[in-house]
Structure formats: C-alpha cells, structure tokens
Chains A and B, each alone.
Chain A
C-alpha cells in the first residue's frame, strides 16, 4: 500500500463549507476501492471531528495520512480547547450554543461516535490554545458495522 498525505483547512463557524473535507476524503477512499464499511467509519469520524472544529473550535486543519496498514486522521484547531476531556467524551455532554442546537448539533454524540468508530483515538487539549484529535484506522480490523 502506497503512502499518501493530504490536508484540508477547516474554518471555525463556517457552516457553508463544513463537511467538505469529509466528503472529499470519502470520495478519495472510494476511488481507491476501500472496504465500504471502513469508509463509513472514517466518514463518521472525520465528519464529527470537522464539525467540532466548526462549532466549538478555532480555525484548524485536518491531516489525512495513509501508511502501510493504517489510515490516520488528525484534526488540530487553535480554539478554546477542552477543559475536561473525559467529561467531553461522555455521551450527551455538550456545550453547543442554542443556535447550533437548533440546527441539530449538540447531542453530545460526536466524540462518543468517533471513539466507537476508530480503532484508536487520542484527544489532547491545551485549554485556551488548541485541541488535537487523532484517529487511527487499521486496514484489516473489522469493527462493528456503523
């Protein structure tokens, strides 16, 4: 498997372009004939990570890399960060604004869904400075179908 690296900018509060990086990655993986179930897991994770930057974060970047037996999505944003990561990971926990909630965001399910669909997830944050979420997908490890 050849290695591949790509990056996408994500702009905070830009609801017009939100999701485009994930759609781009999905079509790229389809053109490479990846397993559809794996593509769906990646799509859930990249979308939720991308939307978290748009809704909660600051401007950021999504790095996609494929090396040997793994695909890694790393999302870094220069935003307010997360004070308590284990609290943020709990299903239902959300600090989304009323405006975001009216749009159907803020169920507090994004991070739990990312955790469920990635083979490994690392979230680090320096409050007031930045947040980094890195998700790894192994190419031969069937997880539960999303």
Chain B
C-alpha cells in the first residue's frame, strides 16, 4: 500500500513532502513520546502523533518511515514543513484522534506486518 492510497482513502491532508507520496507503507505506529517511537516504530511505517514540532522529522527519517500523520486537528510548525519537504517526507493531517485513524488503517491491513 502506498501513502497516496491512504491519503485518498481517508482524506488525509498533505501538508509537506508530496514527492514522497508513492512510498510504501509497511506498518503503523501511534506515539507521542519520541524515545518510545524511536525505539519501537516499525521501519517503513506511517506514524500517527499529536506532535507537530520540527523534531518529529528527524525521528521519521532515522526510523525510515513512510509518512507522518499529525492527528487531533493539530498543524505542523512551519519549520517542520520546511524540513519535511527537504527530506521529501510526507506530512499529513487528520482532524480526529489517532485512535480513530489507527482503527481504520488496521482494518485495512496496515500494521499487521511484523517489524523487519
């Protein structure tokens, strides 16, 4: 599954890194504590978080993530958008809770894949 298909299927709003929309999504993770995400998020995952500040980009790059979704109606900071664009990392927004989106993604089969 590609990031683009999830964007279209769930009406996620791309804010940055549209160049990366064809990345493959290999799993999912929800987390707002960065050291937890850094240690446990599956490689190639789509990451659901309420954090919108710049430091989420480094975590996503280092974990080789497919995309970040900022949930709960929050918006990324301007610096986050700039940095994510440089890294061609899709940053998307979703107006409802991480729980609601995670449930839908899981039902679609995202997140059932084991960590490589």
Task: Give the interface of A toward B (CB within 8 A).
Answer: 15-16, 18-20, 22-23, 26, 36, 40, 43-44, 47-48, 51, 103-105, 107, 109-110, 113, 116, 145-146
Which residue of A is nearest B34, CB measured? Answer: A104
Contact of A23 among B58, B115, B116 (CB under 8 A): B58
Contact A107 B33 (CB under 8 A): yes
Given contact pairs A19-B57, A44-B38, a sample of 13 additional A-B residue pairs in the complex whose CB atoms are under 8 Å apart: A26-B62, A40-B43, A48-B35, A51-B55, A103-B51, A105-B33, A105-B34, A107-B33, A107-B34, A107-B36, A109-B39, A110-B35, A145-B116
| Number of A-B pairs, beta carbon distance below 8 Å | 71
Task: Give the interface of B toward A (CB within 8 A).
Answer: 32-40, 43, 49, 51, 53-55, 57-59, 61-63, 79, 115-116
Contact A146 B39 (CB under 8 A): yes
14 pairs, A vs B, C-beta closer than 8 Å: A15-B55, A19-B58, A19-B59, A26-B62, A43-B62, A47-B58, A47-B62, A48-B38, A104-B34, A104-B37, A104-B49, A105-B33, A109-B35, A113-B38
